[in-house]
Amino acid sequence: MKQYEVVIVGGGINGCGLIRDLALNGVSTLLIDKGDFASQTSQGSSKMLHGGIRYLENFDFGLVAEALEEKNLWLKLTPHLCFERDFYLPLYKYSKYAPWMLGLGLFIYDFLSHFHNRPFAVLNAQETLKKIPSLDPKDLKGSGKYYDGVVDDAKLTLECLYDALLEPCAEAHSYQEVTACLKTNDGYEITYQSVKDKSQKTVKAKFVVFTTGPFTDQLLPKLNIPWKPQLIPSKGIHLWLKKGSIDAQGSVVLTTKDNRVVFVIPQRDSILVGTTETPVDQDMFNIQATKTEIQYLLNVLKQYFPNSDFDESSIISTFAGVRPLVKEEGHNDALGKVSRFHKIFRPDHRTYVLLGGKYTTFRRMTQEIAQELLPRLGKRYQPNLTLNPLRQKSLMPTFGEKPALTMGMIKQIIKQEHVTTFEDLVKRRLSLLDEPQHLKNVMGIPVDEVKALFK
């Protein structure tokens, strides 16, 4: 029976970030995921590396400062996966903030970044409409301009994994479901089963870490791990709209009348719109956007961009994710008010559970576990190793000029980037926006020829 020092369950950004940290520090580690790596919450974000300007309203200054530092770090480490761009916060007569309050908030945001952000500005109505011509001019007072990062969330997750797997002590398996976690005198015997052929394997581990996000409350009781529900799952959906659906030279942050925040971010030769915050009343695995949720976002857009020419036919595709918000005793559990701070739980002596937090701060969150695990394994933790650039880039870049795709390149991607299914390839390795079932060709190659590689 194969033995590892650590087994990680859950291959999203936290799982992939943690295996990278542990592998760089010489810890034998196995990562297991029920689906493809980055296929759930970690590909369902708003594609931003950001401090979370709206969290200033909750006085979460520590979280915002940490996230801004991490945002600026990844902008330097992975310029091929993310870039900085301008965001505009429109201010109307009915908005709850006065211009001076908006300016103060933007100053605090830049201050918390130690002024490493590009400088903010407060614009009047005319200046705002020059940047966002399609914005509703009625009762517009102006806007605040600030800067945050745009990222390919799935690829950053995957490249953290690729970096880990360059170390001989790291191993990862997708489409494997953990079915048993048996406690032994010196750790665990963990059994996992192939989602495809139901074959099973059992391995030993000294420690097990669950980075299973919104699925944690359901999974841990099934494995007989002492656990009480800790999450308030929040569903968020996004739309990819055709380029030109909205005339905007920058990204727009809309505060809706029901106090939600909706981003409109031009990128990838299209426009990303999201997100919603709704309670989850459906199966969370491979969660989809509903017609009601799609219509909600379209209605918000029609309110703020009344003269723009878009409708449901403008939608290229949709996607959804579930935020694993952590309950806080004595605090308001309204989804928009729940803190984005993370928590680490220890159900027993050799089990860790990481919950909550923001995508942007994954490196800091996983470091907390790594720096506790290494001494327990008799090793010295070197925290600065995660500050090194990622060593293996995706073969197909998300931003900028793309190389011509060939069948030879597809085969190389499948082999080198741990691709199991057609959807893995088109959605996360090639970062195509169209729904996989609607594709007639894959960047010029007939779809049937590509699908044949997976039979």
Q: Which helix (H) or strand (E) holds 373?
A: helix 362-376
What pLDDT score does 330 carry? 53
The answer to whether residue 443 scores a pLDDT higher than 90 is yes
What pLDDT score does 413 carry? 98
pLDDT tens per residue across span 112-155: 998 999 999 999 999 999 999 999 999 999 999 999 999 999 99
The answer to whether residue 331 scores a pLDDT higher than 70 is no
CB 237 within 8 A of CB 274: yes
Tell me which of 3.90.1150.10, 3.30.9.10, 3.40.50.300, 3.40.50.11860 is the CATH number of domain 232-326: 3.30.9.10
pLDDT confidence band for 334 (50 / 70 / 90): low
> Reduced to 3 states, what is the DSSP secondary structure of residue 251?
strand
- CA nearest neighbour of 217 among 202, 197, 232: 232
Percentage of residues in the chain with pLDDT exceeding 70?
A: 98
The answer to whether residue 393 scores a pLDDT higher than 80 is yes
For the chain, the distance separating the N- and C-terminal CA atoms, rounded to the nearest angstrom, is: 31
- CA nearest neighbour of 265 among 244, 245, 250, 243: 250
pLDDT confidence band for 339 (50 / 70 / 90): low
> How much of the chain is helix, strand and coil, in % rounded to 5?
35, 30, 40
The answer to whether residue 395 scores a pLDDT higher than 60 is yes
- The mean pLDDT of 165-189, rounded to a whole number, is 96
Give phi and psi for 85, each to the nearest 5: -145, 165
- Residues contacting residue 209 through CB under 8 Å, at least 6 positions apart: 6, 7, 8, 9, 15, 18, 351, 352, 353, 354, 369, 373
> Reduced to 3 states, what is the DSSP secondary structure of residue 326?
strand
Per the document, the length of the chain is 455
Give phi and psi for 298, each to the nearest 5: -65, -35
Least confident of 17-31, 336-350, 373-387, 428-442: 336-350
pLDDT tens per residue across span 267-291: 999 999 998 888 887 789 999 999 9
Give phi and psi for 264, each to the nearest 5: -125, 105
Q: Which helix (H) or strand (E) holds 125?
A: helix 125-131
Question: Could you give the count of Cα atoms lying within 13 Å of 1 in the half-sphere of its Cβ?
Answer: 10
Q: Which helix (H) or strand (E) holds 403?
A: none
What pLDDT score does 99 carry? 86
pLDDT confidence band for 156 (50 / 70 / 90): very high
Give phi and psi for 171, each to the nearest 5: -145, 145
- Indicate whether this model's pTM tops 0.85: yes
Question: Count of CB atoms within 10 A of residue 229's CB?
Answer: 11
* Superfamily holding 3-42+154-230+338-387: FAD/NAD(P)-binding domain (3.50.50.60)
- Residues contacting residue 325 through CB under 8 Å, at least 6 positions apart: 231, 232, 233, 234, 335, 338, 339, 340, 356
> Reduced to 3 states, what is the DSSP secondary structure of residue 237?
strand
CB 157 within 8 A of CB 16: yes
The answer to whether residue 196 scores a pLDDT higher than 90 is yes
Break the chain into its structural domains and give their ranges: 3-42+154-230+338-387, 232-326, 407-454
CA distance 149 to 368: 24
pLDDT confidence band for 348 (50 / 70 / 90): very high
The answer to whether residue 329 scores a pLDDT higher than 80 is no
The answer to whether residue 180 scores a pLDDT higher than 80 is yes
Angle at 252 between CA 235 and CA 289, to 5 degrees: 25
What pLDDT score does 259 carry? 80
Same topology between domain 3-42+154-230+338-387 and domain 232-326: no
Cα 101 to its chain centre, rounded Å, is 30
Query: For residue 149, what are the β-bridge partners?
Result: 49, 84
What pLDDT score does 337 carry? 52
pLDDT tens per residue across span 71-111: 999 999 999 999 999 999 999 988 878 888 899 999 999 99
